[in-house]
Chains A and B, each alone.
Chain A
Amino acid sequence: MSEESIPLYQKRIQIYPRSVKGRFRTLKTGILSLAYVVYYLLPWVRWERPNAPNQAVLYDLPGRHFYIFDLTIQVQDIFWLAGVLIIFAILLFFVTGIAGRVWCGYFCFQTLWTDLFMMVEQWVQGERPARIRLDKGPWNREKLVKKGGTYGLWLLIAFWTGLTFTMYWVDAPTLVVDVLLGRAPYAAYFTTFFLAATTFVMAGLAREQVCTYMCPYARFQSAMFDHDTLVVSYDERRGEGAQGRTKLGKGLKTREERQARGVGDCIDCGYCVQVCPVGIDIRKGLQYQCISCALCVDACDTIMDNLKWPRGLVLYTSEHALNGEKTRLLKPKTIGYGVILTTATTLLIWSVLTRAPYTGTVEQIRQPLYTQLSDGGIRNNYEIKLNNKLTAPMTVGIRIEGLAGASLNMDGMERIDLDPQERIKLLARVQIPPVGGNGPPGDRVTFIIEPLAGVQAAPIRRQVPFYIPEGGR
């Protein structure tokens, strides 16, 4: 219909964030350093474990064991992972309800790696104006060296990030040697290079687009916000005054002069916009792109400090507080999340602390359901599954009780030595002598699986059916 030519696709507008110093920048750098130290060094920490790998944190998929310091998680305990995920989810809701997108601003991998890549970029190419100039300029030697240097460093970081991730799944020193010598398994290369590629693309190239267009969490957390949630806001009343914001100019130098003329405290320096890693103007209000990194707060505070005006023109505050009302923290929502969070955490810790050192189950073999013996006795067979969860050997004894005249035959495996982390299935035959008469066509027998050596634990009792055919006794 319309004849005017409008481009159907719009190119991304490159963001050149300026660096800033301040409370939140220091906090972010602190969290970033801690996160990187943990992430990159943890696979290298050794942990003395007899009969098991010596890596402090190792997710051994082929061996079906997760080793986390002194905790060994076996396949059947993987439901703890569900517990951890539930706790993380609730923690996220809880914190987001109170303090907004704390996860996005300070802890998210996307934020952390983008931050690191930006630091590298700034270190090689210089501050915001220098980077803009470099991008606009022709492809000369300087541009080639600086751009190439940045990309090279990014690639190195990305590769080491991918490799570190892979280290969590196999022995780290062996892996590094194998990867560098080209003899690591295919899966290791795939994981490493896939993560290297995503790190490079997401943190180096896509950056804020990941948060704006790809991340589902960024979009649905607005549902957790309310009027009491802490968000990064611009104090519009103070900043705009009656006449709006104006740059420092003649007769507009001091607060008193400005207030007398109805001009707000914002001097429209644009620093808060320049430092924003997602390229928004916080003075336009809360926007979905905002990751709550609070760098604009640092920027504005710096300016206010220079002017010797009070801080807090851009600040962490709630909608209620901005309107002069009280911010309420104790609300049904917060309390509800808090209760669920505490309960889930307590349950998980309790479950981990009271984990059994070994497990034993008994199942009746039902094909055939029973066997009639030559002397008229009846035999039932059972499959016993034993699992030593410890990284030390143990000895387990098996006996039965609760069935008159019954005897247990396990070919001498009634007392069995279990290797560290061994899982085994045993056959147990329970036999009763002919008694005569017509008893009920069934009974029960209790297996008692008890530790004899190597571990202190309560015996496991399993009551299972014992089938006796009609008229069998």
Chain B
Amino acid sequence: MSDNSPNAQQPSSAVQTTGHAWDGDLQEYNNPLPRWWLWSFYATAVFSVLYWFIYPSWPVGNTWIKGFGTVNYTMTDKASGKEEAREHRWNTRALLLEDLGAATNDPQRKDMLAKVQAASYDQIVKDPKMMEFVRSVGKGLFGDNCAACHGRGGQGVVGMYPNLTDDDWLWGGGMDKIHETLVQGRKGFMPAFGAVLKPDQLDDVAEYVLTLSGETQPSEAAERGRAIFQGPVGGCYYCHGADAKGVPSQGAANLTDKIWTIANVPAQKSVQDKKAVIEDFVARGVNNTRIMPAWKDRLSPTDIKLLAVYVHQLGGAR
């Protein structure tokens, strides 16, 4: 065998050259291409012709050759929620949809989705598997629809968008209330007191509001502020309640806790500054600036249900 290899049989001078000579004696062997290589090359040439017919290929005028290849996949219709089989000419988008439908994890996802759809809120919350699913799917839904305002983790922006991770809820933190908020949206409103209260009255009210959450100690000014708050001049208690703990049905904030949703009190160092941000806010009020859109026409009932559970567990699931 070793003696039969081509190189052993043929002296190198017997190999053909291309006939060119450079620098006097540099020549190039005209060795044949390896057979396997040659046949692979012919095979690719044949394949390229087949390719033109099967896949989208040549541009023709304003359009292109679409190819005979088709992709079959099933798709859920958004409006009716029904699954329908579709056939589409070959493209990578259709291929992706086919892959998604054929993948083993997709049936699992569908099963889980059906389970969550059928379960009550209480059942979902108690079931570790369903909660894992809700957190994973909810994260995507939240990122797509809610994170633009509330932030990726639901932490919100003080003065702009409520923080969804704390235990203070303007409109109620129960699952049904969150669901309601998602479905119909919310519109925050507080009248502007700039024209009603004089600057020193605003100052007194701010002083009083700060004592409510223990930011400052009670004082004479605060006592005057209390009178405005609880009395007919300010009338704040209509919405915030006589105990100032807020009324969720009005979306009125609880002023006695440590959480500030609009006036950024924690960020201010001095009492003067804290009062200033409150006064400024009370003078201007809230009108058409804090609006949560309604999602009932944008998201499916299942998505809203998933989001309600997701947001509920973000906020500590009280």
For A288, the closest partner residue in chain B by CB is B2
List, in ascending order, chain A residues with CB within 8 A of B35's CB: 9
Chain B, interface SS category: loop
* A residues 359-403 touching B (CB-CB < 8 Å): 365, 367-368, 371-376, 379, 381
Q: Mark A1-45, 1 if CB is under 8 A from B, else 0.
A: 110101011100100000000000000000000000000000000
Q: Are A374 and B254 in touch, CB under 8 angstroms?
A: yes
List, in ascending order, chain A residues with CB within 8 A of B17's CB: 1
Q: Are B104 and A365 in touch, CB under 8 angstroms?
A: no
List, in ascending order, chain A residues with CB within 8 A of B131's CB: 411, 413, 426-427
Q: Are A373 and B167 in touch, CB under 8 angstroms?
A: yes
* A residues 429-457 touching B (CB-CB < 8 Å): 429, 434
Query: CA–CA, A411 to B257, complex, Å?
Result: 24
Using known A-B contacts A1-B16, A9-B35, A287-B2, determine if residue A368 contacts B151 with beta carbons closer than 8 Å.
yes
CB distance from A408 to the nearest CB of B (A): 12
Query: CA–CA, A284 to B151, complex, Å?
Result: 79
Q: Are B259 and A280 in touch, CB under 8 angstroms?
A: no
* A residues 262-301 touching B (CB-CB < 8 Å): 278-280, 284, 287-289
Query: CA–CA, A379 to B166, complex, Å?
Result: 9
List, in ascending order, chain A residues with CB within 8 A of B9's CB: 6, 10
CB distance from A140 to the nearest CB of B (A): 30
Q: Are B2 and A289 in touch, CB under 8 angstroms?
A: yes
Q: Are A10 and B104 in touch, CB under 8 angstroms?
A: no
Binds A, one of B46-54, B89-97, B121-129, B284-292: B121-129
Q: A409 in the interface, Cβ–Cβ < 8 Å?
A: yes
Q: Are A373 and B10 in touch, CB under 8 angstroms?
A: no
List, in ascending order, chain B residues with CB within 8 A of A367's CB: 151-153, 155
* A residues 116-130 touching B (CB-CB < 8 Å): none
CB distance from A212 to the nearest CB of B (A): 8
For A413, the closest partner residue in chain B by CB is B128
Q: Are B14 and A6 in touch, CB under 8 angstroms?
A: yes
CB distance from A101 to the nearest CB of B (A): 16
List, in ascending order, chain A residues with CB within 8 A of B81's CB: none
Query: CA–CA, A208 to B4, complex, Å?
Result: 14
Interface hub of B16, B128, B163 (most chain A Cβ within 10 A): B128
Query: CA–CA, A373 to B154, complex, Å?
Result: 14
Q: A356 in the interface, Cβ–Cβ < 8 Å?
A: no
Q: A90 in the interface, Cβ–Cβ < 8 Å?
A: no
Q: Given A62, A279, A373, which contacts B166 in the complex, CB threshold below 8 Å? A: A373
List, in ascending order, chain B residues with CB within 8 A of A427's CB: 131, 135, 313
Using known A-B contacts A2-B13, A6-B10, A289-B2, determine if residue A371 contacts B129 with beta carbons closer than 8 Å.
no
Q: Are B259 and A412 in touch, CB under 8 angstroms?
A: no
List, in ascending order, chain B residues with CB within 8 A of A197's CB: none
Q: B317 in the interface, Cβ–Cβ < 8 Å?
A: yes
List, in ascending order, chain B residues with CB within 8 A of A412's CB: 126
* B residues 263-301 touching A (CB-CB < 8 Å): 266
For A284, the closest partner residue in chain B by CB is B2
Q: B132 in the interface, Cβ–Cβ < 8 Å?
A: yes
For B260, the closest partner residue in chain A by CB is A372
For B259, the closest partner residue in chain A by CB is A374
Q: A424 in the interface, Cβ–Cβ < 8 Å?
A: yes
List, in ascending order, chain B residues with CB within 8 A of A365's CB: 153
CB distance from A400 to the nearest CB of B (A): 16
Q: B232 in the interface, Cβ–Cβ < 8 Å?
A: no
List, in ascending order, chain B residues with CB within 8 A of A425's CB: 132, 135-136
Q: A416 in the interface, Cβ–Cβ < 8 Å?
A: yes
Q: Are A280 and B1 in touch, CB under 8 angstroms?
A: yes
- The total of Cβ contacts below 8 Å across the A-B interface reads 96
CB distance from A320 to the nearest CB of B (A): 24
Report how many residues on chain B are interfacial, defined by Cβ distance under 8 Å. Answer: 41
* B residues 134-153 touching A (CB-CB < 8 Å): 135-136, 151-153
CB distance from B197 to the nearest CB of A (A): 27
List, in ascending order, chain B residues with CB within 8 A of A1's CB: 13, 16-17
Query: CA–CA, A288 to B2, complex, Å?
Result: 9
Interface hub of A13, A376, A434 (most chain B Cβ within 10 A): A376
List, in ascending order, chain A residues with CB within 8 A of B258's CB: 372-376, 434
List, in ascending order, chain B residues with CB within 8 A of A208's CB: 1
Q: B32 in the interface, Cβ–Cβ < 8 Å?
A: yes
CB distance from B155 to the nearest CB of A (A): 4
Q: Are A13 and B4 in touch, CB under 8 angstroms?
A: yes
Q: Given A368, A375, A426, which contacts B257 in the complex, CB threshold below 8 Å? A: A375
Q: B6 in the interface, Cβ–Cβ < 8 Å?
A: yes
Q: B199 in the interface, Cβ–Cβ < 8 Å?
A: no
Q: Are B128 and A416 in touch, CB under 8 angstroms?
A: yes
List, in ascending order, chain B residues with CB within 8 A of A280's CB: 1-2
Query: CA–CA, A378 to B153, complex, Å?
Result: 16
CB distance from A116 to the nearest CB of B (A): 22
Q: B316 in the interface, Cβ–Cβ < 8 Å?
A: yes
Using known A-B contacts A2-B14, A4-B14, A425-B132, determine if residue A374 contacts B167 with beta carbons closer than 8 Å.
yes
List, in ascending order, chain A residues with CB within 8 A of B32's CB: 8-9
List, in ascending order, chain B residues with CB within 8 A of A278's CB: 1
* A residues 315-357 touching B (CB-CB < 8 Å): none
Q: Given A2, A8, A368, which contacts B165 in the complex, CB threshold below 8 Å? A: A368
Q: B168 in the interface, Cβ–Cβ < 8 Å?
A: yes
For B136, the closest partner residue in chain A by CB is A425
A-B contact pairs, 15 of them (CB 8 A): A6-B14, A10-B5, A208-B1, A284-B2, A368-B154, A372-B166, A372-B266, A373-B259, A374-B254, A375-B257, A379-B165, A411-B125, A413-B128, A425-B135, A426-B132
- On A, residues with C-beta under 8 Å from B are 1-2, 4, 6, 8-10, 13, 62, 208, 212, 278-280, 284, 287-289, 365, 367-368, 371-376, 379, 381, 409, 411-413, 416, 424-427, 429, 434
- On B, residues with C-beta under 8 Å from A are 1-2, 4-6, 9-10, 13-14, 16-17, 31-32, 35, 104, 125-126, 128-129, 131-132, 135-136, 151-155, 163, 165-168, 254, 257-259, 266, 313, 316-317
Nearest 7 CB-CB pairings of A with B: A367-B153, A374-B257, A368-B155, A376-B258, A8-B32, A371-B165, A279-B1
